[in-house]
Amino acid sequence: MKLRAPSTCPVCGGTYEITQLTCKKCKSELVGHFSGCAFCDLSEDDSKFVLTFLKCRGNIKDVEKELGISYPTVRGRLDGVIKRLGLGGSMSPDELKKERSAVFDRLNNGEITADQAAEMLKNI
């Protein structure tokens, strides 16, 4: 089992910095100050969610089935990951209208409940 490096200090909550790299093959070492990737700061749950999302090729219904969670929960988790990765941007008015319309369509088709629709609309 491969251990995951923590991104924050358990003592003070400060951010860790990568200062040493070791080659798995020859064991040579490189010491310096390195930055991690954008995904390094995601929690283990968020990382698993992103992997599942990619495995499902972005199909939210498949993610729902795979993780056993509702559509609003998938959307909420996806929005949270997007924000934590610094990718959140504001939607244009047309995009916002399209997203809201899609929620109402799903509600009208009986795919989601009124409570789920309300939650989804809050997250848009």
Please return the burial class of 22, using the count of CB atoms within 10 Å of its CB with bins 0-12, 13-18 and 19+.
Answer: exposed
Q: How confident is the model at residue 61 (pLDDT cuts 50, 70, 90)?
A: very high
pLDDT at 42: 84
pLDDT at 74: 93
Say how far apart CA 43 and CA 54 lie, in whole Å.
17
Q: How confident is the model at residue 62 (pLDDT cuts 50, 70, 90)?
A: very high
pLDDT at 41: 78
Cα-based distances in Å from 73 to 14, 20, 64: 30, 38, 8
Using the predicted structure, report yes or no on whether residue 4 has a pLDDT greater than 90.
no
Strands (E) located in the chain: 18-22, 29-34
Using the predicted structure, report yes or no on whether residue 71 has a pLDDT greater than 80.
yes
Say how far apart CA 104 and CA 110 lie, in whole Å.
10
**pTM of the predicted model, to two decimals?**
0.57
Using the predicted structure, report yes or no on whether residue 53 has a pLDDT greater than 90.
yes
Residue 56 neighbours by CB distance under 10 Å: 17
Average predicted confidence (pLDDT) for the chain: 87
